[in-house]
Structure 1
């Protein structure tokens, strides 16, 4: 039997089914980290013009998302990388990351940075395998023992 293809494309994060995915992501992060160590981008922040928000779908069903927002000329911050629990383990995170990097290159972005939590070994492994390296806190971030800061030049 043919398995439906997964599409990854820019979408509006304010759609109801995408908001449900973001709510799942919020709940996951809130279970792992205290409020001061959670740096969750609000849906409204993800819908502004200097932000790219990508959604992975199969047969119209939302499986995951990833975004970046411009933080300086040629430099973006990755936000909202999340794959539903029942869609994990099949390379979707890597596909989302690759799609985001392609979108950044299309916009002549030279560098992507991110903050992730230390209690997410799968995400950290994915980022490191994709060439992201540790860096100091960037933007408005302060050092946090529960945060890991990574960056990659494209």
Structure 2
């Protein structure tokens, strides 16, 4: 059974999962990793979800407010050997639910074009591609998404 825990960036399991994510992204992003990494400081994340199966942390995600109505999804990751079992969907849905409870209306996120699994996942989760925003505006490897909550 999958257990979802709402927490913050001080959660040790979240910190370990983010370390695994960063190691994965160093390979996928190559020379561009340092650019992306500067925007992924987890100290500022107050809304984190960690997914456990049999008490083992296998997936995570977080969000931060961009303004009064919009949040940005950050640090979504599922351990490679735990993928394709719906865990990422559960984490993302829990983040969306939490943000709606806090009265946010819109969600945005950025992922790399080379992260084809992530691109497919966000499309499956009803996120629409939007023009790149903020620091990703002129970054050709970035792909930005948006979802408006109903």
Q: Deviations 1:14-44 (Å, cap 9, x if unpaired)? A: 2333211110000111111122244652221
Structure 1 equivalent of residue 98 of structure 2: 103
SS in 2 for 1:30: helix
- In structure 2, the partner of 1:31 is 27
Between the aligned partners of 2:39 and 2:53, the Cα distance in structure 1 is: 25
Partners of 2:13 and 2:50 within 8 A in 1:
no
What's 1:61 paired with? Answer: 56
1:63 and 1:83 in contact (8 A); partners too: yes
TM-score of the aligned structures, taking structure 1 as reference length: 0.87
Q: Given the superposition, is the C-alpha separation of residues 95 and 27 from structure 1 closer, same or farther in structure 2, using an over 3 Å criterion?
A: same
Q: Deviations over 1:68-89 (max 9, x none)?
A: 1000111000001000111111
Q: Is the 8 A contact 1:71 1:139 kept in 2?
A: no
Q: Matched residue of 2:10: which SS? A: coil
Q: Which runs of 4+ in 1 moved over 6 A?
A: none
Decide whether the 8 Å contact of 2:58 with 2:78 is kept in 1. Answer: yes
TM-score, normalised by the number of residues in structure 2: 0.89
The 5-angstrom pairing of residues 125-144 of structure 1 reads: 125-144=120-139
1:113-132 equivalences under 5 Å are: 113-132=108-127
TM superposition shift of 1:142: 2.6
Q: Distance in 2 between matches of 1:86 and 1:57?
A: 14
How far 1:103 moved relative to its partner? 0.9
Match of 1:7 in 2: 3
Question: Greater helix percent: which structure?
Answer: 2
Note the residue ranges of structure 2 that are not aligned, 5 or more in a row: none
* 2:100 partner SS: helix
Give the count of matched residue pairs. 146
**Corresponding residue for 1:77?**
72
